[in-house]
Structure 1
Amino acid sequence: MNIRIKKLDLLILRSFMGPFVVTFFVVLFAFTMQFYWLYMDELIGKGLGVWLMVQLMALMSATLFPFALPLGILLASIMTFGSLGENYELVAIKSSGISLFRFMRPLIVFIAFIAVFAFFFNNYVIPVTNLKSYSLLYDMRNQKPTMDIKEGIFNRDIDGFAIRVGKKGKDGQTIKDVIIYDHTTGQGNNNAVYATSGRMYPSPDNRYLIFELHNGCRYEEDNSRGMNYQTRMNFGKWYKVFDLSKFAFTRTKEELFKGNEEMMNVGQLRYNIDSFYKKREFTTRDIDRYLDPYFSIYQKRHKDSVLYQQLEQYKGRTVAYKQSFFDIVPDSLHQRTVQTTESNLRNLQRLVGIVSADTKVQSEKINSFEIAWHKKYTLSFACMLLFLIGAPLGAIIRKGGLGMPVVIAIVFFIIYFIISSTGEKLAQQGAVTPWYGMWLATAVLLPIAFVIMVTARNDSPVFNKEWYVRMWSKIKGRFVKEKKEQTPAAKR
């Protein structure tokens, strides 16, 4: 009996591993291509090398790992158990006295290891890949497009110059009918170069673009002395060199991106959350220190001072004024008192606004960091949750392959993704607490998983198409029978 159970465990593991590996990489490839199509318009035409694109795609594939893994597990579990059910292997196993839960046990242990691995990968590898991928993507998106001089169109890619080439040769270097306007002086088209022909080619290190112009002239105007002077110089051959250093790809320091919550692990997130809580507490306390100077009655005074002794006389007593405050103030000080009061109120409003803005920013930071902290766990727990949905669901539908299992898996994953995204958005907006928003999808789908598991254990035909066909045939037959019985009665 023990040997049979061990063989059974190996059977289910082997049956699961093939679909799991295939579906995981297919889903990861699909997510990576989706990312590429999203940013394709911003990356094409900038002269970025193939190696940079491969590097970006590899890094982004690693960052998409936590999203592809749950969907791959869901697809593989539905396909595996659906194929076993379709081939009546599940029926044979159940008839031998082995329950569905016992049959699922080796995969539950395997998925638990996968979930633990996903957490460590999400905690230690993903922050590094996020840092490298998003910094590289930022530099690539901000890279200037490559310089492309087209025939008959003025090109202004090089700052301070407008270049027009009438015609370009097939070799890409020979040019004719060339006009170059120099706007570096900021005085319009006061410097111009015309040439009938020439060559255009980059320097050996690609840092400069060299125009070798033949049979032309240069025009320069000088309006600095209030008089118009124009100088004309003819040339047989003349070189104009343009600096292309701004078109070179440069990398931003990765340290500038390290403050983002997506680039941190659980320990760093918890440390920053505690720091922001303390900062918010100190900011709230600072408001007393800001407002004390404007309320002299609350300021600490020496016991020998006259104001202190006068205040002590009225301490704990209710004083009713029979006249307004301005009746007590001398007429000569009315205007000054009003101006001082208005100034103090404006200062108080400004200080309260600063404290309120700081508190709001810190609260938003706490929200975002707590959301990232919970995401480290929810994405790993999603692996187990979607397996508990997919395995019994495959046993119920009893269909293998890439047809019905794929449709059902995508439907459940979309439901999970929508609920998860909605909870995260609500948490980001402060409508709900971060833990509530991030665990909302789990709380909704976990009862559904238990219902599906109980349904699969009891061999319920709820998801069986044939059961609905048979029920419809029975209902339809009953209506037809009643109609036939009513027809003779109507004839009588």
Structure 2
Amino acid sequence: MKILDRYILTSFLKTFFSVFIILMFIFVLQTIWLYIGELAGKDLDVEVIMKFLLYFSPKLVPLVLPLTILLTSIMTFGTFAENYEFAAMKSSGISLQRAMRSLTFFILFVSLVAFFFANNVIPAAEFKSINLRKNIAQLKPAMAITEGVFNDIGTFNIKVEDKSGENDQYLTDVIIHQKTSNGGNYTVIKAKEGELAGSTDSDVLSLILKEGNYYDEIQPSDYEKRKKKPFTKSYFDEYVINIDLSDFNNVDLEDESTTSYHGMLKISELDESIDSFSVSYNTRMDQFRKDMYRRTGVTTLSTNFRPRDTVIAFEEGLLSHFNTYDGAQITNLALGTINSAVAHLAMKEQEFRVNIKQINKFEIALHEKYVLAVACIVLFFVGAPLGAIIRKGGIGLPIVVAILLFLTYHFIGIFAKNSAEDGSVSAFVATWLSTWIMLPLGIYLTYRATTDQGLFAFDNFIEPLKKLFKKAGLFKDKSKTE
């Protein structure tokens, strides 16, 4: 390796690793902020918290690495241009492409490592993080009563309107649904106020309810009496419920039973899952078509139809040949059949929409592994020539430009992927769209920097306007007048 290549590569690597560490630290802090609600109040060891952050960090690499390459390229090449080092290289006959050669090989190597990382490390870390989050969520459920929603705690579903007190132990407008062993929900308890009593380390949570009602739906053995929906109602001034949390606090944080999430799979596994889901979806869709066709009754027309029956004129209508009662019966039966078919169709439509969304998520996850590698190369050829053009290094203007470009790249990708989940856009197009947009920009900037031109060719816009004004007599050429 020549001295120049070593110097450029060394300058790039110093900035690259510094920027990567800083950005990773910032995004890890953001992760702590986002998931603080899942970690707080769980009495977790520092080891578990560090393990959670370690498992979640690889998921940040597809976000941090492209931004690092873009920012480092602008800063490094901007510094070279600002210090007239590029001018010295060009005076020695060294072009911009020659100066970028060592970094090009390095970026290709980084892209290959990124692809390997996305296909192997990220799925393994995603597998660990999701299972750990699931296990942490089961710890200390008494501390996880969220306002305004039903919280599943033991054999109860608890909803509170508001929490107050130093430890959020005082509750208002409490609604409790008690579950049964067969899955029914026949008991409802409502209270104006409630209080959580007991230590956070205790396996028993005492819920003291005040000024409420107890509703218990009765299930008679006679099914005719069940139609009347009988229930008992009682009023209480104070009612205490003891909830056993021993089974919930005894959680194995090493449990790894969740394996079906699309982020956990490699390329080969994603291909297999997509094929499996697609075959299953097409089979169920074909069966649904046959069922709906069968529900129309067309298949039974030949059984009930007699060719020698009286021909009915279209103007007379079919119901005119029946008495009022039979006509009403036929109409009600037809309406019931149609309403049932419409309800069944709506239910299946929602089911198929969920299936399509699931398949699209797996396809997006598949393409994202390739996009990360290509994005590293494309953003390098955007940042490097852009830094040479703006001729500004350091952490001022390059950071602003890099963030604006990356936010544009990132948000286009997010909006496209969200549209692809419901099938509005192809998963392939949505995943590659932001990279396709950046590719022409990289080619354009590389051409401008190679030919020593500015960021924009303003003369291409100004000259046609000057010619137009000359023809109109609004602009005089000073050289001719002199």
When residues 245 and 274 of structure 1 are mapped into structure 2, their CA distance, relative to the original with a 3 A threshold, is closer
Partner Cα distance (1:451, 1:62) in 2 = 33
When residues 58 and 201 of structure 1 are mapped into structure 2, their CA distance, relative to the original with a 3 A threshold, is closer
Structure 2 residue 421 is the aligned partner of structure 1 residue 428: yes
Cα RMSD (Å) of the superposition?
3.5
The match for 2:113 is 117
SS in 2 for 1:460: coil
The match for 2:437 is 444
Which residue among 358, 361, 369 is the counterpart of 2:354? 361
How far residue 15 of structure 1 moved from its aligned partner, in angstroms, is: 2.1
Partner Cα distance (1:159, 1:343) in 2 = 39
- Is 2:138–2:249's contact at 8 Å kept on the other side of the alignment? no
When residues 448 and 341 of structure 1 are mapped into structure 2, their CA distance, relative to the original with a 3 A threshold, is same
How far residue 87 of structure 1 moved from its aligned partner, in angstroms, is: 3.0
TM-score where L is the length of structure 2: 0.67
The match for 2:95 is 99
Partner Cα distance (1:243, 1:357) in 2 = 37
The match for 2:176 is none
The match for 2:272 is 271
Which runs of structure 2 are paired with 1:169-184 in the superposition (5 Å)?
none
When residues 296 and 74 of structure 1 are mapped into structure 2, their CA distance, relative to the original with a 3 A threshold, is closer
SS in 2 for 1:417: helix
How far residue 451 of structure 1 moved from its aligned partner, in angstroms, is: 2.0
Which runs of structure 2 are paired with 1:85-164 in the superposition (5 Å)?
85-144=81-140
How far residue 250 of structure 1 moved from its aligned partner, in angstroms, is: 3.8
Which runs of structure 2 are paired with 1:272-421 in the superposition (5 Å)?
272-299=273-300, 307=305, 310=307, 320-321=313-314, 323-329=316-322, 333-421=326-414
How far residue 412 of structure 1 moved from its aligned partner, in angstroms, is: 1.8
Aligned residue type for 1:128: A
Partner Cα distance (1:431, 1:251) in 2 = 39
- Output one character per residue of 1:269-305: Cα deviation in whole Å (capped at 9) or x when no partner: 222222333233223322343234444443496xxx7
When residues 70 and 247 of structure 1 are mapped into structure 2, their CA distance, relative to the original with a 3 A threshold, is same
Q: Percent identity, aligned pairs only?
A: 33
The match for 1:254 is 256
The match for 1:35 is 31
Partner Cα distance (1:436, 1:158) in 2 = 45
SS in 1 for 2:385: helix
- Is 1:45–1:146's contact at 8 Å kept on the other side of the alignment? no
The structure number with the bigger radius of gyration is 1
SS in 2 for 1:310: coil
- Output one character per residue of 1:199-238: Cα deviation in whole Å (capped at 9) or x when no partner: x999xxx8879xxxxxxxxxxxxxxxxxxxxxxxxxxxxx
Which residue among 58, 61, 65 is the counterpart of 2:61? 65
Partner Cα distance (1:245, 1:89) in 2 = 68
When residues 96 and 300 of structure 1 are mapped into structure 2, their CA distance, relative to the original with a 3 A threshold, is farther
Partner Cα distance (2:365, 2:23) in 1 = 23
SS in 1 for 2:257: helix
When residues 346 and 10 of structure 1 are mapped into structure 2, their CA distance, relative to the original with a 3 A threshold, is same
The match for 1:170 is none
When residues 384 and 288 of structure 1 are mapped into structure 2, their CA distance, relative to the original with a 3 A threshold, is closer
Structure 2 stretches lacking a partner, 5+ long: 144-152, 157-187, 190-197, 205-243, 457-482
- Is 1:423–1:437's contact at 8 Å kept on the other side of the alignment? yes
When residues 326 and 53 of structure 1 are mapped into structure 2, their CA distance, relative to the original with a 3 A threshold, is same
SS in 2 for 1:110: helix
Which runs of structure 2 are paired with 1:231-242 in the superposition (5 Å)?
none
Aligned residue type for 2:366: W
How far residue 243 of structure 1 moved from its aligned partner, in angstroms, is: 7.4
How far residue 384 of structure 1 moved from its aligned partner, in angstroms, is: 0.9
Structure 2 residue 79 is the aligned partner of structure 1 residue 83: yes
When residues 425 and 246 of structure 1 are mapped into structure 2, their CA distance, relative to the original with a 3 A threshold, is closer
- Is 2:41–2:140's contact at 8 Å kept on the other side of the alignment? no
Aligned residue type for 2:280: K
The match for 1:55 is 51
- Equivalent residue pairs, number: 369
How far residue 382 of structure 1 moved from its aligned partner, in angstroms, is: 1.4
- Is 2:138–2:251's contact at 8 Å kept on the other side of the alignment? no
The match for 1:480 is none
Aligned residue type for 1:285: D
Aligned residue type for 1:415: T
- Output one character per residue of 1:455-491: Cα deviation in whole Å (capped at 9) or x when no partner: 211223449xxxxxxxxxxxxxxxxxxxxxxxxxxxx
- Is 2:353–2:422's contact at 8 Å kept on the other side of the alignment? no
Partner Cα distance (2:304, 2:443) in 1 = 77
How far residue 142 of structure 1 moved from its aligned partner, in angstroms, is: 4.4
Q: Tell me whether 430-439 or 21-30 shows the greater mean CA deviation.
A: 430-439
Partner Cα distance (1:421, 1:378) in 2 = 13
When residues 146 and 22 of structure 1 are mapped into structure 2, their CA distance, relative to the original with a 3 A threshold, is farther
SS in 2 for 1:255: coil
How far residue 159 of structure 1 moved from its aligned partner, in angstroms, is: 11
When residues 63 and 158 of structure 1 are mapped into structure 2, their CA distance, relative to the original with a 3 A threshold, is closer
How far residue 248 of structure 1 moved from its aligned partner, in angstroms, is: 4.8
When residues 49 and 6 of structure 1 are mapped into structure 2, their CA distance, relative to the original with a 3 A threshold, is same
- Is 2:65–2:376's contact at 8 Å kept on the other side of the alignment? yes
Structure 1 stretches lacking a partner, 5+ long: 148-156, 161-185, 188-199, 210-241, 464-492
Which runs of structure 2 are paired with 1:16-31 in the superposition (5 Å)?
16-31=12-27
Partner Cα distance (2:33, 2:298) in 1 = 66
When residues 14 and 306 of structure 1 are mapped into structure 2, their CA distance, relative to the original with a 3 A threshold, is closer
When residues 136 and 333 of structure 1 are mapped into structure 2, their CA distance, relative to the original with a 3 A threshold, is same
Partner Cα distance (2:447, 2:110) in 1 = 24
- Is 2:119–2:266's contact at 8 Å kept on the other side of the alignment? yes
Partner Cα distance (1:391, 1:432) in 2 = 32
SS in 2 for 1:402: coil
Partner Cα distance (1:347, 1:159) in 2 = 36
Partner Cα distance (1:298, 1:371) in 2 = 42
When residues 453 and 297 of structure 1 are mapped into structure 2, their CA distance, relative to the original with a 3 A threshold, is closer
